[in-house]
Amino acid sequence: MITQPYLRGLDLPRDPAPRADALVPLTELHAFPDISTAAKTHHAKRFGSAAELLCDSLLMRLGIDSHPSPEFQAFDRLIYLNDRPLRLQIKVRLSAENNAFWFKVAHGNPRHASGVRGYRHDAFDLLALVILHHNVVKFSASKASQQQIALSEIPRLRNHPFESLRSAFNALEVSETLDEAPAQLNAA
């Protein structure tokens, strides 16, 4: 086995610092969605990535390719529909309040000098609202800063995942020529 020798004077530390993940063990995620607020906060990037991958999976099953965008963009994915690019922003919620999952459509970090702020009206074309532990995605063309998925909507979103995307395309007046999606994408 070939090994790369270390540069002289650059030895590994004898007692490496504990990883940040060691503070909140990954095994705590095994109880998802019943995890502490601290765990939700600590793993927020992980949940955001999972939501993006769930959207990718759904779009791929519908025959739509999605392409990740750089972190500095105001959208998460770029999709093409009939050679027209659409910018997709993805938001995830992990808990419900008042019989609904509420989504704040904003970006930024409250601990940063610029804080949390709303998106410019032209920052994205399409919004995907994700409830991770129900494995559902609701697509929307709305730019409202506060959006929701009622608990009563979840069975319909699960059984007809293409319906909200079709409605969003219609609201955007996108001429969509996709084949009719099967009624039950999750059956199998």
What are the sequence ranges of the domains in the chain? 33-108+118-171
Instruction: Give dist(CA 148, CA 155) in Å, integer.
Output: 15
Q: Does the structure show a pLDDT above 90 at 28?
A: no
pLDDT confidence of residue 81: 86
Confidence of residue 109 (pLDDT cuts 50, 70, 90): confident
| Average pLDDT across the chain, whole number | 84
Residue in 64, 140, 66, 60 with CA at minimum distance from that of residue 103: 140
Here the tokens at position 41 are 């906060």
- Tally of CA atoms within 13 A in the half-sphere of 179 that contains its CB: 7
pLDDT confidence of residue 120: 87
pLDDT confidence of residue 126: 95
Here the tokens at position 146 are 């506060």
Domain 33-108+118-171 = CATH 3.40.50.150? no
User: What's the mean pLDDT in 70-99?
Assistant: 92
Q: State the Rg of the chain over Cα.
A: 20
Helices (H), the chain: 37-42, 44-61, 154-159, 161-171
User: What's the mean pLDDT in 40-59?
Assistant: 93
pLDDT confidence of residue 187: 43
Q: Does the structure show a pLDDT above 70 at 15?
A: no
